[in-house]
Chain A
Amino acid sequence: KAGVTQTPRYLIKTRGQQVTLSCSPISGHRSVSWYQQTPGQGLQFLFEYFSETQRNKGNFPGRFSGRQFSNSRSEMNVSTLELGDSALYLCASSGYQETQYFGPGTRLLVL
């Protein structure tokens, strides 16, 4: 089975812009979770989608949003980018009540 894929792998944006990241889960997985990884805050849970519905949400401002499509692919969007949004964004997918498998991440740099 192909693993979790994330696009793009690297991204450079400037403050105030918005960005959309994409995640394709492992075939058959219906749950997709997103995490932000920074040197200062470590790995933090953003949100989880299951069957196109947000099922869990972390403690991030409303500038961070996501969605899931009928084929389980997911996107996350960050609006009005801030310097502090520079991070590695990781997506993970899982089957029903199973372990999460992570993608390689999208590294976002905000200038």
Chain B
Amino acid sequence: AQSVTQLGSHVSVSEGALVLLRCNYSSSVPPYLFWYVQYPNQGLQLLLKYTSAATLVKGINGFEAEFKKRETSFHLTKPSAHMSDAAEYFCAVSDRRGAQKLVFGQGTRLTINP
């Protein structure tokens, strides 16, 4: 069975500060990992994905994540927060490249302070 734990249901940072959203996974097979973002009253938008190529993955809107096998982590970072980054972020794991059955973490709500 696979699972995802997102540490911190709420994270608050100042505009221009580093954003760090934590995600740890559990998987009995090599995982495929994803970060999605959800803005109010919208669906999920893919930020980035890890599919066993480079361990440092760059996504949209300046976000990136690093796959660390030993630490079973896939933390999301952005060097400088923007007000438009305020949203809910979900880490997800799948055991197949197709990722048709995603297991999601509980989500982290990111607030940006002016």
Contact = CB atoms under 8 A, between A and B. Distances in A.
A48 B49 contact: no
B100 A43 contact: no
Interface string B99-110: 111111111000
A4 B34 CA distance: 19
- A interface secondary structure, majority: strand
B100 A48 contact: yes
Q: Is the interface of B mostly helix, strand, loop or mixed?
A: loop
Interface of A: 4, 31, 33, 35, 42-45, 48, 50, 55-56, 58, 90, 92, 94, 96-105
Given A45-B102, A94-B98, A99-B99, 7 more contacts: A33-B100, A42-B104, A42-B107, A45-B103, A98-B98, A102-B43, A102-B45
Interface of B: 34, 36, 41-46, 49, 90, 92, 96-107
